[in-house]
């Protein structure tokens, strides 16, 4: 292979590599955000269950609602429990 062909292939691989790296970083940022929200939701549910009011069970469904909803998700769970929906 001559030098020009190797440079063109190198530049193409560099551009494709940067493109895929940016996609992976965006996906990682989204996954980290969801994980952080789930941890905050779990902490809020745990704190709510320490209080002497009604208890909200901590299971996968309530974790997902609290995780994807954040503070609003926990508020929705509290409201649903107060209304007797579950």
**Predicted confidence band at 68 (pLDDT cuts at 50, 70, 90)?**
confident
Question: Domain limits at 39?
Answer: 3-82
| Residue 61 near residue 81 (C-beta atoms within 8 A) | no
The model's pTM is 0.62
Question: What is the reported pLDDT for 3?
Answer: 85
Least Cα distance to 43 among 54, 53, 32, 35 occurs for 35
pLDDT in tens, 14-63: 999 999 888 888 888 888 888 888 888 888 888 888 988 888 888 888 88
Please tell me the total count of domains within the chain: 1
Tokens describing residue 66: 């609290």
């Amino acid at each position: 292979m001559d030098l020009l062909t190797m440079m063109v292939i190198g530049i193409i691989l560099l551009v494709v590599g940067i493109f895929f790296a940016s996609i992976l970083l965006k996906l990682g940022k989204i996954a980290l955000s969801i994980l952080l929200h789930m941890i905050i939701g779990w902490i809020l549910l745990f704190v709510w269950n320490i209080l002497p009011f009604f208890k909200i069970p901590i299971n996968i469904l309530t974790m997902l609602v609290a995780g994807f909803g954040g503070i609003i998700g926990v508020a929705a769970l509290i409201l649903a429990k107060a209304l007797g929906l579950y």
